[in-house]
Structure 1
Amino acid sequence: MDLVLWIAAGLLAAVALVGGISKTFVPKDRLAAVQGGGWTADASAAFVKTLGVLELLAAVGLVLPAVLGIAPVLVPVTALCWVALMVGAMITHGRRGEFALMALNLAYLLLAAFVAWGRFVHTPFPG
């Protein structure tokens, strides 16, 4: 189970890293032009960049604390934060009628909830 939780956290970290890099460093008008990025047209550039930075922090928080053995409890805490972020993403995409993206966000939410449960309850990190 430990390996499965590491893989799940790694997958979420990769998703967060890609999303964070794009939201932080790609101009808002370019994001708005790509599939799934239309919501950025209705948001401020500062908001989009803030979400990007939060996603970059999530990418770090899902893996690095456990790898370094420093405050590994931050892994499931970060996973819970990712759940909250995905709820917001689902609401945003739902309002826009983007139901395929809602389903993708739901998959990420469930994966993050699994990591949170696994690391808080089933197979917590020592210490």
Structure 2
Amino acid sequence: MLIAYWIVAGLTSALYLFSGGIKIVRSREQLQQMMTWVATARMPIVRAIGIVEVLGAIGLILPPLTGIAPALAFVAALGLVVVQIGAIVFHLARGEARLLGFNALAFALPVATLILSTIWL
């Protein structure tokens, strides 16, 4: 189970570090090419989502790796699940059901990490 946790947590972290990182550093115009919803969102909200995603990604790896408060990995995974539930609801409300494929993956990875963290921790 430990190896499975690290594989899934690593993939989840990579996804959210990338996704959150670009939301933090890129301009609205650069983000609109990849995420059309950014055109109607306020940039402080986009940046806040990016910060939450990056913190969640760090929380999946750093606490278990250092052994300091490894239960925070569970909290980080739960936070990423909540972020994706919000994203799915947001896209459905905008009539963007066709975009939910990526959100389904971005939801499944932290759910798997959440499950594995309860077994491992």
| Fold similarity call, TM over 0.5 | yes
Normalising by structure 1, what TM-score? Answer: 0.87
Residue 5 of structure 1: aligned partner: 5
Q: 1:54 and 1:91 mapped to 2: Cα distance?
A: 18
In structure 1, what is the Cα distance between the partners aligned to 2:85 and 2:40?
18
In the alignment, the residues of structure 2 paired with residue 51 and residue 118 of structure 1 have an alpha-carbon distance, to the nearest angstrom, of 24
Q: % of aligned pairs identical? A: 34
d(CA) in 1 for partners of 2:100, 2:117: 25
Alignment partner, residue 47 of structure 1: 45
Quote the Cα distance in structure 2 between the aligned partners of 1:113 and 1:68.
22
Q: Structure 1 stretches of 5 or more lacking a match?
A: none
Identify the structure with bigger relative contact order (alpha carbons < 8 Å, sequence gap 6+).
2
Structure 2 partner of 1:22:
22
Structure 1 residue runs of 4 or more that deviate by more than 6 Å after TM superposition: none
2:120 to 87, 107, 123: 123
Unaligned runs of 5+ in 2: none
The equivalences for 1:74-93 within 5 A come to 74-93=72-91
Distance 1:59 1:118 in 2: 15
Q: Higher mean Cα deviation, 70-79 or 92-101?
A: 92-101
Instruction: State the Cα distance separating 1:28 from its structure 2 match.
Output: 1.3
Give the superposed CA RMSD: 1.3
What displacement does 1:100 show? 4.0
